[in-house]
Structure 1
């Protein structure tokens, strides 16, 4: 279930907003310039990037034409059964858990499968957007944010870039992300 939770930037002791209604999520995020959409679900081999891009070709073409993206790819991160899976994925998770911005590009992701949480630090609030299958989120360049894929990442996403070099983050140095519940806690029903 897609979920938006908004807290004051001071921490999660008080919930300002909590909703799973897609229209309410879009309405809450639009003033910050954040794009939120739900796309139709399609069956595809989520481990095959070409199959993923082919399955969602009409939506990818529409968004690329609207926004002028120059690079689109699909990434899959799913447990492979190896005993060192968590250890191997920890560096990727930790990289995105720190608050950062992007100077020259929006961060746009469509979740084909699995889940992740984008945290948007906008003004004096933090919006946690639990994205799941069918969700597209576009974080405007310059927006302070971070992302949690959980302790055992499992998702397939289509990524859109205006820059051919892809993801380039500028870390703020803030420890704000450490004050908020992660994907695992949100999935477990965190409700402070």
Structure 2
């Protein structure tokens, strides 16, 4: 279940608010300029190729490209048997920003986005069919967990893809990781 947990940065051990209603989650995130949507499920084989996935969601991807000026879309997938899973996890665990919106649509699996707004941190556990668009300049990080299992469509305005600017803050190390929050969902 998609879950939004809101923490005060001075009390990182206890969420002040936990939401599971998609409408309430969307409203809470929209106040900070974050786009949250849930797209309909498409019937895809478990081993669907990037081309099959992009074709299945072509209408939604085309709409976002037109609305937001995205130039490229691709698919990223990670499974627990990937020998580099820990290195991939570490790459995204520190707070950073981007000079473009970070957009992810979860075709399968789940992952945890942390969004840092002032003295609050919003931890959004995204699930299959969730779309999140984190506005450029927003301080955030991502935790895929120790046994990642997800497939996401990514959209970019920069053809170079994912480029991060790390803040050097240690806030990410003070909040519960995926292992502690993924259980909130269910």
Give 1:76's aligned residue: 77
Shift of 1:14: 3.6
CA contact (8 A) 2:4 2:122 kept: yes
Q: Do residues 11 (structure 1) and 11 (structure 2) align?
A: yes
Deviations 1:42-65 (A, max 9, x none): 121354111111111111111111
Structure 2 residue 112 is the aligned partner of structure 1 residue 117:
yes
Runs of 5+ consecutive residues of structure 1 not aligned to the other structure: none
Q: TM-score, normalised by structure 2?
A: 0.94
CA contact (8 A) 1:45 1:52 kept: no
Map residues 1-192 of structure 1 onto 2, 5 A cutoff. 1-47=1-47, 48-80=49-81, 85=82, 87-102=83-98, 104-189=99-184
Measured against aligned partners, the alpha-carbon deviations of 1:71-127 in whole angstroms (never above 9, x if no partner) come to 1001111134xxxx4x5211110010000001x211000000000000000111000
* CA displacement 1:109-162 (0-9 Å, x = unmatched): 000000000000011100000000000000000000000000011000000101
Deviation at 1:20, TM superposition (A): 0.6
Q: Secondary structure at the match of 1:32?
A: coil
Distance 1:58 1:46, change over 3 A: farther
The separation in 1 between residues aligned to 2:117 and 2:85, in whole angstroms, is 28
Deviation at residue 187 of structure 1 after TM alignment: 1.9
Gaps of 5+ in 2: none
Aligned residues: 184
TM, length-normalised to structure 1: 0.91
Comparing 2-11 with 130-139, which one deviates more in the overlay? 2-11
